[in-house]
């Protein structure tokens, strides 16, 4: 199991670097952004990097669901949650049972 990413915390949670890297990759590729992954710090809110319109957010969400083979619960489909990379990563890991300390 990978160690939690140091310094990337949101609401008292931690996520693995692998999950966050995958989310970053999905974000960049699904929106066709001309960015490197390193240009997207973990702490940065996703929409602050490129500016997202309403449909782009949805495009990202559906690409994310495809990547992780899961459906995000309706109550989580809000911009404040979707734009927050660490929270999103924690949520995905929790849903997939991969959170540090949880059963794989």
Partner 1 sequence: MAYSTMAAPALKPWDSTPAAPASARRGEPWVTANDLFWCLYLYPLRLFAALAPRALLYQIGRLAEPFVQLYWRERKKDLVRRMLRSRCPGLTADEAPRIARRYVSNALFRGLDDLIISGPAFRRALRCTAVEGLDHLERAKAAGKGVLVLSAHFSANRIAKKYLATIGQPMLTVRNQLLYEGAGRLGRRFLQPRYVKFQHQLVPDEVDARDPECALKIFQRLRTGELVHILYDVQHRTAFVRGHFLGLERRLPAGTLRMVRFSGCAVVPMLCLGNSAGFRIVFSPMLNMVNAATPDEFAAANLPSFVKTLERQIAEHPAEWVLWNRL
Binding mask 15-34 for partner 1 (x = CB under 8 A): ----------------xxxx
Compare residues 12 and 51 and give the one whose CB is closer to partner 1: 51
**Which stretches of the chain are DSSP H helices?**
17-30, 46-50, 54-68, 79-82, 85-95
The phi-psi region of residue 31 (left if phi > 0; otherwise alpha if psi is between -120 and 50; otherwise beta) is: alpha
Residue tagged active-site, from 18, 39, 53, 84? 53
Say whether residue 67 binds partner 1 (CB under 8 A): no
Say whether residue 104 binds partner 1 (CB under 8 A): no
């Amino acid at each position: 199991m990978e160690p939690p990413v140091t310094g990337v915390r949101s609401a008292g949670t931690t996520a693995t670097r692998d999950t966050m890297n995958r989310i970053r990759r999905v974000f960049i590729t699904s929106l066709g952004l001309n960015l490197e992954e390193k240009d997207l710090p973990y702490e940065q809110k996703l929409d602050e990097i490129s500016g997202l319109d309403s449909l782009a957010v949805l495009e990202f969400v559906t690409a994310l669901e495809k990547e992780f083979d899961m459906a995000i619960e309706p109550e989580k489909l809000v911009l404040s949650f979707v734009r927050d990379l660490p929270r999103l990563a924690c949520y995905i890991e929790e849903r997939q049972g991969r959170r540090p300390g949880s059963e794989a």
